[in-house]
Every structure is written in structure tokens, then in C-alpha cells.
Amino acid sequence: MKVKIVTLLIIGFLNALLFQEITLASEKNKNQELIRRGEYLVSYGGCNDCHTPKLSTPKGPEPDPNKLLSGHPSTAILPEIPPGIIGPEKWGALTNNDLTLWVGPWGVSFAANLTPDKRTGLGSWTEEMFIKTMRTGKHLGVGREILPPMPWFSLAALTDKDLKAIFAYLKSIKPIENAVPQPIPPQKQ
């Protein structure tokens, strides 16, 4: 009788372990699908166009794969902005060579670090903070306005499922420490 009980306990324990492994594998597959969907949306949405520094190539600027989605380089020098160049009947916006810095009537905006670096990127953000930011156009969902050229209003039209996929992908990439400068308000002229 004791052998049967021990055998049943062992079988029960092994079944529980097997169920746990199957459940974990299923969750891992679902997470991988979510990350793949997020990568697709980030690629299709052109996030690298502004959030990844560029390399100069014979074909023109191409995203630097070693700085994927790390934002405007903190070591980059702000080029001189000629006074009076932006305005009605003038230029509407200027950008630097790697498209991570933009100047317009709103001032100067720098592409944010979207990597999961905890200090300088999205590493300390929650999924809820990310979704609220994309829905409201405000940093962390409650802070300063997100400036052009960031098309947050287009991202706001995505489903929660798609925004969660983008966030899952961003959390899965290599963290890169890069403290992007704060925006510079427009100069009074």
C-alpha cells in the first residue's frame, strides 16, 4: 500500500512538473510572438528613422545596428541654427545628418532612447506608462508634450495589443546607455 501511495505521489509530482514546463513553454511562445509582432510594427512604423543614429554609407545614411533605437547620441554636437531660418514662408523644420535631432517652431527635439536601459531608456517604464504616453502624447503619460516629428497621434490609433507588442519588443532589445538631451524651447527672435 505504501509503495502505491509513493508511486502515485511521484507520478503526481512528475505530472505537475510536466504541466509547469508545458505552461512555461506556451507562455514563452506567446511572448516570442508578441515580440515578433512588436519588431514588425517598429520596422513598419519607421521608428529607426529617427530613434537610431545613422552610419554614412555610399547609399546614404543607414541605421547603425550597434546603436539600435538608442536615440540622439549624447555626445553629438548641436549644429548652429541660423537665426530666422524657421517660420512662415521659410523652412518648417531642420534635422541633423542622422535624423535624431529636429528643429522647428516648437524648438529643438531629440529622438528618445527607446532601449531598455534603466537609467537613460525605457528600462524603468511599465507597459501602462508606455501605452498612456502613446495615447496622450505626454512623456510618461503625464509630463511634458512629446514634440515633433514623433507621430504619437498615429500610434495612439493602434490597439492596446499592438502597443503592448511594441513595448515587449523594445524591452527585448539590447539596453544602451545614452542620456538624450532634454528639448530646447524655441528661441525668441
Could you report the per-residue pLDDT of 89-144, keeping only the tens digit for each? Answer: 999 999 998 899 999 999 999 999 999 999 999 999 999 999 999 999 999 888 89
Q: Residue 70: pLDDT above 80?
A: yes
CB 166 within 8 A of CB 38: yes
Hey, where are the domains in the chain? 2-172
Average pLDDT, the chain: 89
Least confident of 2-11, 22-31, 77-86: 22-31
Alpha carbons 155 and 175: distance in angstroms, whole number: 23
pLDDT at 189: 44
Alpha-carbon distances of 187 from 16, 94, 100, rounded to whole Å = 66, 15, 20
Alpha-carbon distances of 145 from 4, 39, 40, 58, rounded to whole Å = 68, 26, 27, 37
pLDDT at 127: 97
Helices (H) and strands (E) in the chain, counts: 5, 5
Whether the predicted model's global pTM rises above the 0.95 cut: no
